[in-house]
Amino acid sequence: MNKVLLIPAYNPEEKIIEVIKGLPKGVFDQVLIVNDGSNPKYLEIFNQLSMIRDVSILEHEMNQGKGAALKTGFSYILKNTKNCLGVVTADADGQHLKKDILAIADCLKPEQRELTIGSRTFDSDVPLRSHFGNKLTRIIMKFVFKIDLKDTQSGLRAIPYSLLPQLLKISFNRYEFEIEMLLAAKKNGYRFKEIEIDTIYENNNIASSFNPVIDSARIYF
């Protein structure tokens, strides 16, 4: 059965090209990259990605947010992909290593009702805004929603195909979408699984488009 790699991309790091090129054949039947209204200066990166075998680029004319980009990909998969086992989502900012993407992909199994999350280790090398934000969100999710995860905000996830229609019902379109995904999964009877992955923050994670004030406020609201 098919597995799809979905990457929402807003001003992506060039590193993503080598990650995609380095994926072994046969793991993913398709790689979908959603250009979420990136600056035109990043066009060459998307051009190079489009030349890689089994890679398709979807376009947003204007930036709509990570959640919107994920939903565009989910909708495309539901309409165009037959016999799909599930979707692996990854970020385009260089945080996710090839080996971790492959480990998460391996968690997709037939008839599975389990959402797998690549859980980062938050040690002393992690930027303060990332460490604090994840810790606070983890506390809220555990005590308010009874979801106990080490990493609630990781973008590296393995999502069963059967869950995709429910995720399209989420109204939020930015980073808060990934928190709502957890709530939707629990509501629909899906279990959670975490796999430890390497934590990569290059240059203090300046490539991330996450705004620690505005986006955190959206998430907690």
User: Are 70 and 8 spatial neighbours (Cβ–Cβ below 8 Å)?
Assistant: yes
Q: How many helices (H) and strands (E) does the chain have?
A: 8, 7
- Residue 114's SS3 state is strand
Summarised one tens digit per residue, pLDDT across range 55-88 is: 999 999 999 999 999 999 999 999 999 899 999 9
Summarised one tens digit per residue, pLDDT across range 114-123 is: 999 999 875 5
Q: Quote the pTM value.
A: 0.87
Rg for the chain, CA atoms, rounded: 16
| Bridge partners of residue 84, in order along the sequence | 2
Token pair 């990136």 is at which residue?
38
